[in-house]
Amino acid sequence: MNTITVGHRAGPRLLAGLSYYGPAGLPDHHRQHGPLPAVGRRLIDVVDAAGLTGRGGAGFPTGRKMRIVAGGRGSKVVVANGCEGEPASSKDRLLLTMLPHLVLDGLAAAAAAIGARDAYLCVHDHEASLLESLQAAVAARKDSVRIQVSGVPGRYVASEQSALVQYLNGGAAKPAFSPPRPQERGVRGLPTLVNNVETLAHLALIARYGDRWFRSAGLPAAPGTMLVTVGGAVRRPGVYEIELGTPVGEAVARAGGLAEQPQALLVGGYFGAWLPAGAAWPVPMTHAALKAAGGALGAGMVIALPASSCLLAETARIVRYLADEGAGQCGPCVFGLPALANAMADLAYHGGRGRAGRQLAALLPLVERRGACKHPDGVTQLIRSAVRVAARDAREHDVAGPCRGITREPLLPLPGEDL
Amino acid sequence: MRLRVNPIACTGHGMCAELLPELITLDPWGYPLLASEMVPQALAGHARRAADACPTLALLADDSFVAGPGVRHGRRHAG
Ligand SMILES: Cc1cc2nc3c(=O)[nH]c(=O)nc-3n(C[C@H](O)[C@H](O)[C@H](O)COP(=O)(O)O)c2cc1C
Ligand code: SF4
Ligand code: SF4
């Protein structure tokens, strides 16, 4: 995995302190950015003015969320979401391993702004060395907020915000029904701000350099930079920092360009959508533009699928994984996702004798918007995009059986496999 | 009035579909499908009874939601 930042208009921001020699310690971090200035409630106005949105997938305005939490009663809690449940994403891990103090600065700044005395930094509990290095990084600092590094189960839905909160409260790492949302009632019943670790890293820089600086990169309606993980059939797969609004094709170019003739791009990860490579190429990487193109920005993944792969088989494999990752709580998710996975597998591997397509079409609306969390909706969005982008393949598979592409080794990564 | 199902609490008893067939049908697995979240005034009493009859209190009838012009259906929530 490469982590290269080549020159671009704004220059790297988050990744400016990245060194090949190893993780940036506190002195390195201060040499790069200076110490974190004293911040208070006013930081929320600056974040609002900066237009920072969440980098964990949903793109919710960070300032607005901070204001909701800050307006709640009593003491507050901040949770940094560093679980990076998306198997194809590596950006949060890069920040946490190489630039931990950027994330911790953001956590401390958010806590000061909303009035929190306790903060949690959540990563997967099987990442022993990451847990250890983060604990050491916290110990090297003098924050007034008490930061606890917490290991949470490495399941896909365990890093949904209400699941994190429930787990930190001593319960199962499973999503909870809302309302109440963590913003209203979270850890120990207190108003809780949950933010992705990249969001917090941007916050650390906004606290130093201000909103005008933040807006000097990206688009007026989608300001700043973001980390993207580019993978699949590209020459230099890895994490890159781009300005929001950078065309998808340029993100691929940053990763050395295509290594093979593409068929489609998976943009936004397993919560995202397939787009035809040609159509996706000029689309600006913003939530609004990708949504309009039938996709999603998600947590910023772009994966190029070569023409010789089978898009339907790749999707069937991911859908099976996601179906197995459900929290087992909601009927439509418990019964619907395995049924969708079976129908996808029929379509991809067995040939549905013309039935699999109809079966999928009947199942999708029975699953959509019927879970306590968005997990099922992510799955249906992925399937809908697959049968849309590979419509002709889907018809041929359904009637005549699988194509030659299914003999190719799967490209999309799943946990426990090497990228 | 606005109806919601808490899918974590719902065990698929199907009682609600019997008491409020105008708005609730069951999916192939026995879980309720709402024709509409917004309950017409004429059905408010039935909806309330169905919510009260749900053995796991999974059917939620929210009176603070008054149907009419200007009601926002898709509120955007933080997160
Ligand atoms: C099934 C599911 C899994 C999620 N996994 C993650 C995750 O691994 N990391 C993350 O930052 N957000 C994840 N989220 C989003 C969080 O619920 C939450 O919105 C996010 O951490 C908020 O941070 P942000 O506003 O800074 O983006 C997930 C959401 C869902 C529905
Ligand atoms: S929708 Fe699925 S993943 Fe989400 S809470 Fe319900 S059972 Fe769990
Ligand atoms: S009566 Fe309650 S538990 Fe039974 S199906 Fe309806 S909502 Fe679910």
The complex scores an ipTM of 0.88
Which amino acid is it at A12?
A: P
Answer yes or no: do A60 and B78 touch at CB < 8 A: yes
Ligand 3 and B5: CB distance under 6 A: yes
Is the separation of the CB atoms in A332 and A317 below 8 Å?
no
Ligand 3 and B50: CB distance under 6 A: no
- Please state whether the peptide bond connecting residue A23 to the residue before it is cis, i.e. omega within 30 degrees of 0: no
Site to probe by mutation for ligand 3, drawn from B10, B25, B29, B34 as the one with most ligand atoms within 8 Å of Cβ, is B10
CA A387 to chain centre: 23
Question: Low-confidence residues of chain B, pLDDT below 70?
Answer: 65-79
Q: Please give the structure tokens belonging to residue B37.
A: 């979240």
Give how far Cα A169 sits from Cα of A125, A321, B16, Å.
16, 27, 32
Closest residue in B to A59 (Cα) is B79
Q: Please give the class, per CATH, of domain A222-306.
A: alpha beta
Contacts of A243 (CB under 8 A, 6+ apart): A8, A9, A10, A217, A218, A219, A224, A225, A226
Q: Please give the structure tokens belonging to residue A326.
A: 């459900």
Which amino acid is it at B53?
A: A
Q: Give the whole-angstrom CA distance, residue B28 versus residue A90.
A: 39
Instruction: Report pLDDT for A9.
Output: 57
How many domains in chain B?
Answer: 1
Ligand 1 and A359: CB distance under 6 A: no
Is the separation of the CB atoms in A222 and A50 below 8 Å?
no
Q: Please give the structure tokens belonging to residue A41.
A: 């409630």
Contacting A with CB below 8 Å, chain B residues are: 5-12, 27-31, 33, 76-79
Q: So where are chain A's domains?
A: 26-216, 222-306, 311-407
Maximum Cα–Cα distance across chain B: 35
Ligand 3 and B56: CB distance under 6 A: yes
B5 in helix, strand or coil? strand
Answer yes or no: do B79 and A183 touch at CB < 8 A: yes
Q: Confirm or reject contact between A298 and chain B (CB < 8 A).
A: no
Q: Give the whole-angstrom CA distance, residue A155 versus residue A147.
A: 23
Question: What tens-digit pLDDT sequence spans chain A (419 residues)?
Answer: 444 444 345 689 999 999 988 999 999 999 999 999 999 999 999 999 999 999 999 999 999 999 999 999 999 999 999 999 999 999 999 999 999 999 999 999 999 999 999 999 999 999 999 999 999 999 999 999 999 999 999 999 999 999 999 999 999 999 999 889 999 999 999 999 999 999 999 999 999 999 999 999 999 999 999 999 999 999 999 999 999 999 999 999 999 999 999 999 999 999 999 999 999 999 999 999 999 999 999 999 999 999 989 999 999 999 999 999 999 999 999 999 999 999 999 889 887 677 888 999 999 999 999 999 999 999 999 999 999 998 888 777 777 777 777 777 889 999 876 44
Burial of A285 (0-12, 13-18, 19+ CB in 10 A): buried
Instruction: Report pLDDT for A6.
Output: 42
Whose atoms come closest to the Cα of A177: which ligand? 2
- Chain B positions touching A65 (Cβ under 8 A) are 78-79
User: Which CATH number do you get for residue B23?
Assistant: 3.30.70.20
Q: Which CATH number does the domain A311-407 belong to among 3.40.50.450, 1.20.1440.230, 1.50.10.20, 3.50.50.60? A: 1.20.1440.230
CATH superfamily of A26-216: NADH-ubiquinone oxidoreductase 51kDa subunit (3.40.50.11540)
Of B8, B76, B79, the CB nearest to A177: B8
Ligand 2 and A237: CB distance under 6 A: no
Domain of B39 in residue numbering reads as 2-76
Q: Give the whole-angstrom CA distance, residue A206 versus residue A405.
A: 47
- Chain A positions touching B29 (Cβ under 8 A) are 331-332, 335-336
Ligand 2 and A173: CB distance under 6 A: no
- For residue B61, report the phi and psi dihedrals to the nearest 5 degrees: -105, 115
Q: What is the dihedral of CA A122, A124, A126, A129, to 10 degrees?
A: -60
Answer yes or no: do A330 and B28 touch at CB < 8 A: no
CA of A374 to the centre of ligand 2 (A): 8
Answer yes or no: do A331 and B7 touch at CB < 8 A: yes
Q: Give the whole-angstrom CA distance, residue A60 versus residue A40.
A: 22
Q: Give the whole-angstrom CA distance, residue A239 versus residue A230.
A: 6
